[in-house]
Amino acid sequence: MTTFFTSDTHFGDMRVLRFDHRPFADLAEHDEALVARWNERVGPGDTVWHLGDFALGPGPERCAALLDALHGEKHLVAGNNDDAATLSLPGWASVRHYAELVVEDRMLVLCHYAFRTWNGIGRGAVNLHGHSHNKLTPMPKQYDVGVDAQGFRPVTLPEVLASRRRGARKAPAPA
């Protein structure tokens, strides 16, 4: 079992094509590509922490279908665009606004928003977040796991930690 992290998929949200300049011809292609890239990496027995802004606009039935199409046990750390219908979808293993957990012997502080400081920062804890769509200059020990920053797919903790090392290669964008 592997643990993955992602954020800001914005399924059904036309704004991301315009504001974030995502490389997709239309919203259908966007949503289809994000589901495919998720499922290429994540298996049924894996865990995914989605750090908010799962979807906006497609309606509860479409949101439920999208969530059901995604592999893995899915936990949501709510974002500012996650409405009550998204929060109450039956496909979430848990829904919360903040989480602390240990993965690969590393304490992680998870929230949709980037923190200036967080619990355990002086003891090596890492803050994983979304919301900024790869537009925020990170602080040490702080990583944007949003799809805009991570090749439009969920990533593992080692991939996140390696993403800022000198010469680290960014994940490829969809063709």
| Confidence grade of residue 31 (pLDDT, cut at 50, 70, 90) | very high
Task: Indicate the residue type of 152.
Answer: F
Residue 146: DSSP 8-state: B
Report field, pTM of the whole predicted structure over 0.85: yes
Question: What pLDDT does 172 receive?
Answer: 52
| Confidence grade of residue 164 (pLDDT, cut at 50, 70, 90) | confident
Question: What pLDDT does 167 receive?
Answer: 47
Distance CA 55, CA 9 (A): 7
**What average pLDDT does the segment 40-51 reach?**
97
**Taking a C-beta distance cutoff of 8 angstroms, is the pair 51, 129 a contact?**
yes
**Taking a C-beta distance cutoff of 8 angstroms, is the pair 57, 12 a contact?**
yes
Which CATH topology does 3-162 take? Answer: Purple Acid Phosphatase; chain A, domain 2 (3.60.21)
pLDDT tens digits for range 131-158: 999 999 989 999 999 999 999 999 999 9
**C-alpha R_g of the chain:** 15
Question: What pLDDT does 40 receive?
Answer: 98
Check pLDDT > 50 for residue 130. Answer: yes
**Taking a C-beta distance cutoff of 8 angstroms, is the pair 128, 48 a contact?**
no
Check pLDDT > 50 for residue 117. Answer: yes
Task: Indicate the residue type of 109.
Answer: V
